Amino acid sequence: MQVDFNAEQAHLTTIYQYLVAEIARLTAKLAALQQQGRQLKQSFSSDTSLNFETISDNLDTFASIEANNRQIDALNAQVDQANMRLQAAHLLKPQAYFARVDLVFDSDTPEAFYLGKVGFSGVDETNLIYDWRAPVADVYYANRLGATSYQANGRQIPVTLTKRRQFVIQGSNLLQAFDNQVAINDPVLLAALAVNRSGQMQDITATIQAEQNAIIRANAAQVLLVDGVAGSGKTSVLLQRVAYLLYQQRQTWSAENILIFTPNQVFAKYIQNVLPALGESNPVTLPFVRYFQQLGQRFGWSLPDATGRFKLLDQQLQQVVVNVDVLTHLFQDDLGQRYFQQTDPQQPLLRRLQVILRRLADKPSTAAGDLTAWLSQVDWATILKIAGPLTVTEQFYILLRLQNYHQDNIAALFIDEAQDYTPDQLTLINQLFPKASLTLVGDHNQVLKATGATLAEMAASFDQRPLVQKYLVTSYRATATITDFFAQFADNPKALKIQSIQSQGQQPQIYEQLSLATLVQELTSTSTGQLLGVITPDNQTAQQVLVALKPSLAQVTGLTGDSPKLPTSGVVVLPLAVAKGLEFDQVVLTDFATSFYQDPILGQHRRYVAASRATKTLTIINRLTGLPTSKASTGD
């Protein structure tokens, strides 16, 4: 059926004009409310006199204060409501909506629903635009024409989907409108993928695919474990899921109840615009190590190394988990002995030790987080039946158990690049967030450290909680040729069946050997306005390439894990460990044939990660020569 373009343009014009009018009306209303607030304050200060001479005077004074407070509360409620509506109108003005579905309920007459980043109603409270997270929007993403259903308020609503229409909108102008039944050939998606990278991750609301939608809306999963291939939109799905759950739980959750663990600070900056673009505030977003560093300080923790970072290495935490419940050794301190004798012998031993720790923590000479204040490392290892000394992870786990400490204020925890977490770290997370909904996304082919957890180990870390596993095997990021190239390095690529929906594109260009001087010359002559990443095995090589490029290239940036953010264009030089999770229009890989990428254990994964950072062109230098000094062979 051909789209009536004029009718859709007329509808957009009406909605756009209404949004513009609402922005003007709400702006004026907020100014008037602010003026009214100032006048109320002046009136209260002049009219209200505090008189407490008699009981009657007390009652009159309190009644007057209460009446004033009610007026202030009512005024604040109006301000909050106007601000929320104004924010929604501003979000929708550039693109009022991106899709329309026509549904038939009980009658034979289809009803049109327009879907946008947020919902917006008319003056009579009718829905002009439905939020993409609303239950009815599920039929759009599920992408099934004909008889279908969606769930709302605990009920399954049967409907018939007669139309699935997509739009490309710019302000008041309708650029494209077309009916589409097959999401894998989604022209809006293909157009979005063709746009140059901006240095900031964008939301994928208009292009969510059916398999991604199933993950975003997985309400029943207490622990959701997602394994997705490179470029399958794992991080985007994670962020859309954050927005979806905030919408679903808007009566009880806020951004303060959400926590996101990212690989590094660069990545945290890379994703920081996604949730605000959907009308949601950013939750706390930081690397896992930094979070536990801050948490450790809360317990008076003495960091074990000069760099101020936790060395969270795997050892024997599972054995600690088993044995910490049956501790049989008492604190050697006399004070600890007396405290133990004062505890209730009917209580479990762990509960009695928790009481001791709380009392000992009140001693001025004792740090709450120093387990060795009462028991030596050797003794701790002996009673827990493990080889000492204890790792930081093991010490921290024991401390949490003895303190009976967990973070109940976190309702949902989201972990990106979950494959890099050790089983011990995941066990520690499970102990710390026992009531939180957990979403872990990763790619088992992107494990870059020998300590990374397998899928089975990740699932086993949460074996006492309901767990749902989901998989994403379609890569949306790169051209088909680049996807085919990095797919060859995946574990069992034929079984995994990684596929791309993009066009073929250029074949990767491979140099057996290239000098640093020639690379500088090539990059200096490259001026495309796109984001180009030069990915090296290690920090040392990245620094050498950066130093060589700076004199002849104005727009060049070096990135480390603690860099503030990814630039919007130009050349970026960074090691593989920092590049993971990022994407670039063009990528140059150095030293692809050296021992770093040929490592018998992790080499395949490193090549997979490195090659999958490119979206349009990929250049591979097997050996980069002419470096000023010998470079390191590891990726840290």
Q: How far apart are CA 423 and CA 314, in angstroms?
A: 7
Nearest residue to 498 (alpha-carbon basis) of 478, 508, 483, 512? 483
Q: How far apart are CA 17 and CA 507, in angstroms?
A: 47
235 is in an annotated binding site: yes
- From residue 497, give the alpha-carbon distance in Å to each of 52, 207, 376, 493: 80, 22, 53, 6
Residue with tokens 């929007």: 137
- From residue 373, give the alpha-carbon distance in Å to each of 297, 305, 403, 454, 545: 16, 19, 15, 36, 49
570 is in an annotated binding site: no
Give me the count of residues in the chain. 636
Q: How far apart are CA 138 and CA 144, in angstroms?
A: 10
234 is in an annotated binding site: yes
3-state SS, residue 267 = helix
Nearest residue to 561 (alpha-carbon basis) of 417, 440, 433, 428? 417
442 is in an annotated binding site: no
Which element (helix H / strand E) includes 428? helix 423-432
Residue 71 burial (C-beta neighbours within 10 Å; 0-12, 13-18, 19+)? middle
- From residue 533, give the alpha-carbon distance in Å to each of 94, 97, 571, 610: 31, 34, 6, 10
449 is in an annotated binding site: no
Q: Can you list the positions of beta strands (E) in 453-602?
A: 467-472, 474-475, 499-500, 509-511, 514-515, 531-536, 556-558, 570-575, 584-589
Residue 586 burial (C-beta neighbours within 10 Å; 0-12, 13-18, 19+)? buried
Beta-carbon contacts of residue 445 (< 8 Å; ≥ 6 apart): 229, 230, 489, 490, 491, 604, 605, 608, 609
Q: How far apart are CA 138 and CA 149, in angstroms?
A: 9
228 is in an annotated binding site: yes
Residue with tokens 């292009």: 207
Which element (helix H / strand E) includes 395? helix 392-403
Q: How far apart are CA 514 and CA 355, in angstroms?
A: 66
Annotated binding site for ATP: 228-235
Annotated binding site: 228-235
